Amino acid sequence: MPRLLLSRRDCLRALLVLPWLNASAISATPAQRIIAINWLAAETLLSLGITPLAVSDVGYFRRRIAEPVLPANVQDIGPFWEPNIERIDALKPTLILSDMLAPALLDSLLRIAPVQVVSVYPSTNDVWQALLTFTGDLGTKLSVCAQAARLIDHATTVLSHCQQRLGHAAGQRILVVVRSQDGKYATVYGKNSLPDAMLTRLGLQNAWNKPVGAMGTANVSIEKLASLPADWLFYTELPTTLTQFTRLRQPDGLWQQLPLVSGGRARELTHFFPFGGMATAVSLAQHITQVLSESEKNA
């Protein structure tokens, strides 16, 4: 069985050889004093009933991920790209779940505690399967395998029920986007993204079947969305840009002219983090299911 905790030498070697590490390589810590720089890891820990000592940018985390709730006593260690090393050291963690950081930062973290780089995104295969594997492995290595099994079973059951409810909508084309700050562009989620994985499991089609980047996204103009064949549009916008975006929004703006928006077939996704875990995925599936089901009833 492969060794699952990365040593300092192993981690630095991985930075040089592999752009991303396998998300299934999770290790345990008896005391479970865990710091989650990576938000997917933080969400998964909470879903498993484990409260991390600290999370990167807790205020923004709560604005993007409402469920599961991040307890008030979880400490803030700064932004994920530049975590506060001194604060992390003072917390005496036994495991750090991190994003892929710069070698110098990662080296500093490795002097404090074992580091696991979480790399579900980007996924070279199925995102949903990667989330299942990550959740199951994390639960096993942290001695909460029963909780992980229940979480996976619940999520699988919910998705199955959602698919059954959407039998009438099978094959409908769905767009999932994040609106840009200037109102002229949008980030669209295509192949190998979390929204795409959920649409597939619901029996729906992703309306964006054009090329995407490594993270499963494409930045496109609003005009391009206007000419894209689609049945429904689900959108979110970054909380930090809401005020400025509202000031830019005009009654006759590009967004309002989108056929799906003017036709009443656009719905907002609140508290949506497109690189989240199983809780985020299931919440997205339930939201889409509810909207399409209610539309069918009102037709």
Task: Give residue-wise pLDDT tens across range 130-176.
Answer: 999 999 999 998 999 999 999 999 999 999 999 999 999 999 999 99
Alpha helices in the chain (DSSP H): 8-17, 39-47, 58-64, 85-91, 103-110, 127-141, 145-165, 194-201, 222-226, 242-248, 254-257, 259-262, 278-298
Of 217, 176, 198, 48, the C-alpha closest to 127 is 198
The answer, yes or no, to whether residue 17 has pLDDT greater than 60, is no
Question: Among 25-34, 232-241, 259-268, where is mean pLDDT lowest?
Answer: 25-34
Of 103, 118, 104, 109, the C-alpha closest to 89 is 109
Average pLDDT, the chain: 86
Token output for 280: 């985020």
Cβ atoms of 173 and 231 within 8 Å: the answer is: yes
Q: Give the mean model confidence (pLDDT) for residues 246-251.
A: 51
Q: Give the mean model confidence (pLDDT) for residues 260-289.
A: 94
- Residue 254 has a pLDDT of 82
- Residue 1 has a pLDDT of 31
How far apart, in whole angstroms, are the C-alpha atoms of residue 36 and residue 294?
38
- Return the residue matching tokens 């299931």: 282
The answer, yes or no, to whether residue 16 has pLDDT greater than 80, is no
Task: Give residue-wise pLDDT tens across range 186-197.
Answer: 999 999 999 999
The answer, yes or no, to whether residue 246 has pLDDT greater than 60, is no
Token output for 220: 């496109």
How far apart, in whole angstroms, are the C-alpha atoms of residue 187 and residue 55?
26
Task: Give residue-wise pLDDT tens across range 72-90.
Answer: 999 999 999 999 999 999 9
Cβ atoms of 265 and 119 within 8 Å: the answer is: no
Q: Give the mean model confidence (pLDDT) for residues 184-211.
A: 95
The answer, yes or no, to whether residue 12 has pLDDT greater than 70, is no
How far apart, in whole angstroms, are the C-alpha atoms of residue 216 and residue 68?
25
CA atoms within 13 A on the CB side of 238: 10
Q: Give the mean model confidence (pLDDT) for residues 5-14.
A: 37
When pLDDT is cut at 50, 70 and 90, the band that residue 10 belongs to is: very low
How far apart, in whole angstroms, are the C-alpha atoms of residue 147 and residue 135?
10
What percent of the chain clears pLDDT 90, i.e. is strictly above it? 72
Q: Characterize 205-235 residue by residue with b for buried, 16 or more Cβ atoms within 10 angstroms of its Cβ, and e for exposed.
A: bbbbeeebeebbbbebebeebeebebbbbbb
How far apart, in whole angstroms, are the C-alpha atoms of residue 177 and residue 278?
19
